[in-house]
Amino acid sequence: MSNFGKQIYGLIGYPVKHSFSAAMHNAAFLHFGINAQYRLFEVKPQELKDFFSSAHEKGIRGFNVTIPHKENAVAFLDEKSFGVAEIGATNTVRIDNDGKLKGFNTDYAGFSRDIKELNVNVERTAILGAGGAAKAVVFALAKKGAAEIAVFDIDASRSGDLVKKIKQMFPECKVHAVDSVEALRIPEKTFLVNATPLGMKEDDPLLVEEEMLHKNLFIYDLIYNPAQTKLLETAKQKGLRVSNGLKMLLYQGMLAFEHWTGNPAPERVMFHALGEALRQ
């Protein structure tokens, strides 16, 4: 495939060291014979505005957005799909032929699809973390009709802001910020989501006490590398139903691919590429 007329897609973040999305999207482009490449763009916060205004000229047709830009990027969009304004974050941008930038939140949609397929009882949910991913998760759960959501973040202002926003949108949902893991009252919950990065490193502590885990609790860890965090391993040993965030990553990527190309995403191809990249 020549570089002539190559469509450029990619990921913006700071820093961007490694991305599994590149493997997934490049495999999908190859599958359809699309002359396109997914690249990594290191964009500093002070360069964000410039990146958005010059992306179309540079031949970029779409990109994913990651830490620390998911929230600040919303201000530079011409159009927002459902969820972006509500969540206050975008992780996928499409650039149309006229240069217009449309933002999506496929984290929200990917998570929603996965928990639907897993048939999780979200009635009483506890969330660890209130960062970018947690915002999409809490919105998805409130929209799905969770009766109660408790959120804990070490940064109380973040959980406070998230809860305030969700309360306004979903007055029927009992959502509250708590100041400790104990106050999440996990023994009374049906669903626990880890939306913190804790568990990615081998020596990361287990955030919850083992005694809090019970048979009626489903545990979802957004982390997919490692495939089994200490939290999931402990829960599995106790016989709980668990899931990591791999399918959420796949589904958000598939939706991004569909928004960008208009083609149905090749699920098996993308899943296989993801698995290969994770094994390396």
Q: By CB under 6 A, name the binding residues for ligand NAP.
A: 67, 107, 110, 128-134, 152-155, 158, 195-198, 200, 207, 222-224, 245, 248-249, 252
Smallest distance, Å, CB 101 to ligand NAP? 21
Give the rounded distance of the alpha carbon of 35 from its chain centre.
27
Instruction: Give dist(CA 206, CA 189) in Å, integer.
Output: 18
Closest CA to 108 of 130, 68, 139, 153: 139
Residue nearer to ligand NAP on the CB measure, 62 or 245: 245
Minimum distance of ligand NAP from residue 99's CB (angstroms): 28
Q: How far apart are CA 107 and CA 21, in angstroms?
A: 13
Q: Toward ligand NAP, which CB reaches closer, 55 or 151?
A: 151
CB of 6 to ligand NAP, least distance (A): 27
Pick the catalytic residue from 6, 17, 58, 70: 70
The single residue listed with the structure tokens 């047709």 is: 61
Give me the DSSP letters along 233-277. Answer: HHHHHTT-EEE-SHHHHHHHHHHHHHHHHSSPP-HHHHHHHHHHH
What is the CB neighbour count within 10 angstroms for residue 211? 9
Using the minimum distance from each CB to ligand NAP, give the nearer residue, 55 or 130.
Answer: 130
Lookup: tokens for 9: 């897609």
Rounded distance between C-alpha atoms, residue 82 and residue 101, angstroms? 15
β-partners of residue 242 are: 219
Beta carbon of residue 159, minimum distance to ligand NAP (angstroms, whole number): 8
- Quote the least distance from Cβ 53 to ligand NAP, whole Å: 25
Catalytic residue check, 70: yes
Burial status of residue 268 (CB atoms within 10 A of its CB: 0-12, 13-18, 19 or more): exposed
Between 93 and 248, name the residue whose CB sits nearer to ligand NAP.
248
Nearest to ligand NAP of 95, 133 (CB atom): 133
Q: Which residue has the tokens 């545990």?
A: 219
Tokens standing for 135?
């915002």
**Residues annotated as part of the active site:** 70
